[in-house]
Amino acid sequence: MKNYRIGLSVALATAAALSASACSGEFSLGGESLESAGENLIEGEIATSLGQELVATCPAISDPEVGATFSCTAATPGGDVIHFDGLVDAEDHIDLQSTNVITEDGLVNYERVGAEVLEPEINAALDIDCGVDPVILPDSNEFTCEGSDEFGNTAPIIFTITDLDTGDFEVIVGSAE
């Protein structure tokens, strides 16, 4: 890792780590609307699971039949935006799935698979540490972790998610400038 950059995207691999922030809940047309139920789930259970306050926005849906899909967003205090796909999966019941959040379990998968992919390229055992806090992917779908090899060299490890549905990614060793 010695202050170099592997000049190509080393691999496309699947970590199946995205969309790990999910929640479902009840709503009633006679009481809480679908959009209110979605916003309450995001601002309640999902915000708690992510460890930060969220301000949610879900669109009004006039006919929330089983099978109807919808999207919501949530803003963090730091200005990040989390995107959610929603589904009316049963009568008076919704399921929300984040599309740009990687939780701690997902990060562990990326660390493991990223090391497996990069070790042959750098000819050394590699430890990748992405931390334990959930990662909200920016529009670039890129996040950076810290890598250290068996010789004590360190460098950023840059993951770029190439498919948000599958978690496929490219990974490179960045410059340790």
**pLDDT tens string 58-108:** 988 877 788 888 999 999 999 999 999 888 877 778 888 888 988 888 899
pLDDT band at 50 (very low <50, low <70, confident <90, very high): confident
Q: Identify whether residues 112 and 95 lie together within a single domain.
A: no
Instruction: Give the end of a domain, one of 52, 79, 99.
Output: 99
Mean pLDDT, residues 39-58 taken together: 90
Query: CB count, 10 Å around CB of 147?
Result: 26
Question: Exposed e or buried b for every residue in 44-70, given b needs 16+ CB within 10 A?
Answer: ebbbebbebebebebeebeebeeeeeb
Q: The domain containing residue 89 runs over which residues?
A: 22-99
> Contact at 8 Å (CB) between 98 and 19?
yes
Mean pLDDT rounded to a whole number for the chain: 81
pTM given for the model: 0.79
Q: Residue 10: is its pLDDT beyond 70?
A: no
How many distinct structural domains can be found in the chain?
2
Q: Residue 55: is its pLDDT beyond 50?
A: yes
Work out the burial of residue 85: count CB atoms within 10 Å of its CB; fewer than 13 is exposed, 13-18 middle, 19 or more buried. Answer: middle
Q: Identify whether residues 136 and 71 lie together within a single domain.
A: no
pLDDT band at 132 (very low <50, low <70, confident <90, very high): very high
Over its C-alpha atoms, the chain yields an Rg (Å, rounded) of 19
1 falls within a domain = no
Instruction: Give the end of a domain, one of 40, 64, 99.
Output: 99
Q: Identify whether residues 108 and 123 lie together within a single domain.
A: yes
